[in-house]
Amino acid sequence: MSHPNLPMTEVLVVADCWQREPDSEAVIQRAVAAAAESVDEDVADAEVAVMLTDDAGIRTLNSNWRGIDKPTNVLSFPALQPEGEWKPGDAPRMLGDIAIAYETMRREADEEHKPFDHHLSHLAVHGFLHLIGYDHENDDDAEEMEALETQILAHLGIPDPYADRAGTH
């Protein structure tokens, strides 16, 4: 059963460490679909690319694009949107790219006693929301984004990822 507002999500595995988690692509597909179904943004006929990398790969991206020379769990790169309205027959609209680092994500899941697939779902949802314009640059925006993430994850049967970190962003 297809939902009319779902983007096409391509998952690219570029680091061998992800082979330890063979269900990762399905987890990401499900998380992005749940996020797309939960927002008012029109993401039908759009594309998202999710790169599953390692700490070395994401460290390079983080250094090159953000000037921060260390690994992180997830990075989002929203695509510039073309002028004018999208019409049927046009090339798919790129929402952007998400990169997720295995080692950092695995360590966080273990330290926070969260199932791997729950944390992966959270990072995929978080990255997707960044692609459509959400951010956490100030407290109000962070609260809005976290509330939406919590709602989307609850729809997936995943507990509030912020429950143990009240008051932090």
Query: pLDDT per residue over 137-162, tens digit each?
Result: 888 888 999 999 999 999 999 999 99
**In this structure, what token pair is assigned to residue 1?**
């059963």
Ramachandran category for residue 68: left, alpha or beta (phi over 0 → left; psi -120 to 50 → alpha): beta
Residue 119, annotated as binding a ligand? no
Residue pair 11/47 in contact by the 8 Å Cβ criterion: no
Q: How many CB atoms lie within 10 A of CB 104?
A: 19
Residue 155, annotated as binding a ligand? no
Q: How many CB atoms lie within 10 A of CB 163?
A: 8
Identify the structural domains of the chain with CATH numbers, from first to last: 8-156 (3.40.390.30)
pTM: 0.90
Query: pLDDT per residue over 43-70, tens digit each?
Result: 877 899 999 999 999 999 999 999 999 9
Pick from 42-51, 106-115, 129-138 the range whose average pLDDT is largest. 106-115
Residue pair 135/85 in contact by the 8 Å Cβ criterion: no
Residue 136, annotated as binding a ligand? yes
